[in-house]
Structure 1
Amino acid sequence: MTPNQPRLVGLAQLSLLTTAPPNLVGIAAQAGFDFIGVRVRPVTPSERPYNLQPGSQMLKETLARMQDTGITVRDIEFLLLDGSDQRDAWLRMMEAGQALGANSLTVAGADPDSARLLNTLTNMTEDGRNFGITPTLEAISYQPVASLAQAAKIASDAGCQIVVDALHFNRFIGARGAGQWSELRAHADIVPLLQLCDGPAGRPTSREALVLESRSEREVPGEGGFELAEVVASLPDGLPVSAETPSDRRVAELGELGWARRLKSGVDAVLADADTLRKLRALTPAGTK
């Protein structure tokens, strides 16, 4: 990122999961976002699928809205790498992503066989070069690849990248204490995107509760117990961020646009706090507290 260029702020599909991509583009533009993430493949059987394959009507509508608004697509999702042969699935996703202008595809590691997972991700990374799309491995607190360190090691070996999700970073039981910030900084060179949300400081006590929180009960950035300004300040200045903050209850209360505007305001406040934190540190002599 060049100096003085504004940081790009996006709206992730999970924040408005039932909003079709063409409408998500319009909402993102009205709320002041720069880009969106798009779910080109459903994660659960209950999710509404969005057909964004080349030649589809929805792709045409999405591209037209993008051209009208200036909103871009930065990342597509989501593939759970479970050890099965999923090459056809990721190739179709990459076709859709290329058509949308995306440059990353988010995946998670559900395969307990680490050698097989590495082989899968290496093959996926190789395929992605033909589409201009790099897999980004996300550590998810209730999956076999749960920690940032795990994800970074596998991604580095596979030649791809990682995406940092503030929820799962905070929910992983090992992400506690001062060491978590140095860990973020250590892997910053392979992080193309930071996903922001907030939540209670206390970690849910069951896997079921973790899943529920992750998919439908996150809090507005800056309104929970996460140290989000510290997370942002530990990564490169200007790194694109995306609001990934689903809340079925508050979407119902505020409407899609109202929720998007609430998220943009929250993200802006967190980024301002992070900038203040950086400036304070720059004024503090090394070796002092």
Structure 2
Amino acid sequence: MSRTTRPLLGLAQLSLLDTAPPELLGIAAEAGFDFIGARVRPVTATERPYDLQPGSPMARETVARMRDTGVTVRDIEFLLLDGSDQREAWLRMMEAGQALGASSLTVAAADPDGSRLVHTLARMAEDGRGFGIVPTLEAISYQPVASIAQAADIARQSGCRIVVDTLHFNRFNGFNLVNDQGDGGSGGAGAQWDQLRANADLVPLLQLCDGPSRRPSSREELVVESRSEREVPGEGDFDLAAAVAALPDGLPLSAETPSDRRVAELGELGWARRLKSGVESVLAAAGTRREAGHLQGAGPR
């Protein structure tokens, strides 16, 4: 009988967005996680910025907490590629990431010009080699690049990789709410499972969260759900065990599960522990599915 390899488990910054990386490392360690994702660049104007540039007080404190806890920084985020010249921004992010020991930088695409986007990511990938950091393109359900098929095609052309977020994976429904122009040949929601398996070699990290089967009906509702209303892995309607089982055994998993309400109820450490328990339950279910030989044809229940 085959045995699964225990993956490294991470706590994404978005799960505790208002918790500075040094404190996030301590919470992750107490909850039993192996690594964190660090937000070295704010996404919105209202976010608390974290100065993690080499030599800053917070960067020094973060490195010290990594040494003390044994928890690492695996991925950094977040850059929304909009078609403008953002090279200075990503170089600063890569400098910060290299100092923290990160290996990937998560980006998403708001640029509707596909050829320009490929060129941008190819330049990022080339720059990243000097820092030991690979850009990872995330398909976002409310952005122009919304499907696994789209993200994988761009990644293969540009030399980057893709990160899969189970919320956006489940929320893609074959058309793009940004421009309502169809799925660009990606085949609809059911084809997401085939594309996930076909492009597993591009995925260095799976981000886990859960949610209800009902998809929000507007872009605004999708954004709210994505940023502040996700559910604990294993406690919603997503077939997370199938997603884990569809990817290589031992692939690192990161809990990216923001919930303003639940953090207020449970506190930061309580929420982190709840997420760790949820991820472990998903892993157990995925292991059972693998052992039973159900990997082939895994998909939504």
TM over 0.5, yes or no?
A: yes
CA contact (8 A) 2:230 2:259 kept: yes
The aligned counterpart of 1:287 is none
The aligned counterpart of 1:29 is 29
The aligned counterpart of 2:239 is 227
Is 1:166 the counterpart of 2:178? The answer is no
- 2:295 and 2:126 map into 1 onto residues whose CA distance is 44
What aligned pairs does 1:118-197 form with structure 2 within 5 A after superposition? 118-174=118-174, 176-177=189-190, 179-197=191-209
Structure 1 residues without counterparts, runs of 5 or longer: 285-289
**In structure 1, which of residues 263, 274, 278 is the aligned counterpart of residue 290 of structure 2?**
278
Q: Which runs of 4+ in 1 moved over 3 A?
A: none
The aligned counterpart of 2:56 is 56
- 1:256 and 1:220 map into 2 onto residues whose CA distance is 14
The aligned counterpart of 1:266 is 278
One-letter amino acid of the counterpart of residue 94, structure 1 = M
One-letter amino acid of the counterpart of residue 48, structure 2 = R
One-letter amino acid of the counterpart of residue 189, structure 2 = R
- 2:256 and 2:4 map into 1 onto residues whose CA distance is 25
One-letter amino acid of the counterpart of residue 231, structure 2 = E
One-letter amino acid of the counterpart of residue 254, structure 2 = S
One-letter amino acid of the counterpart of residue 259, structure 2 = S
Structure 2 residues without counterparts, runs of 5 or longer: 175-187, 297-301
Cα distance change of structure 1 residues 26 and 186 upon mapping to structure 2, 3 Å threshold: same
- 2:65 and 2:39 map into 1 onto residues whose CA distance is 17
Q: Deviations over 1:223-252 (max 9, x none)?
A: 111010011110011100000000000000
One-letter amino acid of the counterpart of residue 176, structure 1 = A
- 2:289 and 2:68 map into 1 onto residues whose CA distance is 37
- Counterpart of 1:239 in 2: which secondary structure? coil
One-letter amino acid of the counterpart of residue 49, structure 1 = P
Is 1:244 the counterpart of 2:256? The answer is yes
CA contact (8 A) 2:83 2:111 kept: yes
The aligned counterpart of 2:38 is 38
One-letter amino acid of the counterpart of residue 253, structure 1 = E
The aligned counterpart of 1:255 is 267
One-letter amino acid of the counterpart of residue 95, structure 1 = E
| CA deviation after TM superposition for structure 1 residue 5, in Å | 5.2
Q: Deviations over 1:95-143 (max 9, x none)?
A: 0000000000000010011111111111011000000000000000000
- Counterpart of 1:281 in 2: which secondary structure? coil
One-letter amino acid of the counterpart of residue 282, structure 2 = V
CA contact (8 A) 2:155 2:162 kept: yes
- 1:180 and 1:114 map into 2 onto residues whose CA distance is 20
- 1:138 and 1:22 map into 2 onto residues whose CA distance is 25
- 1:190 and 1:157 map into 2 onto residues whose CA distance is 12
- 2:294 and 2:147 map into 1 onto residues whose CA distance is 30
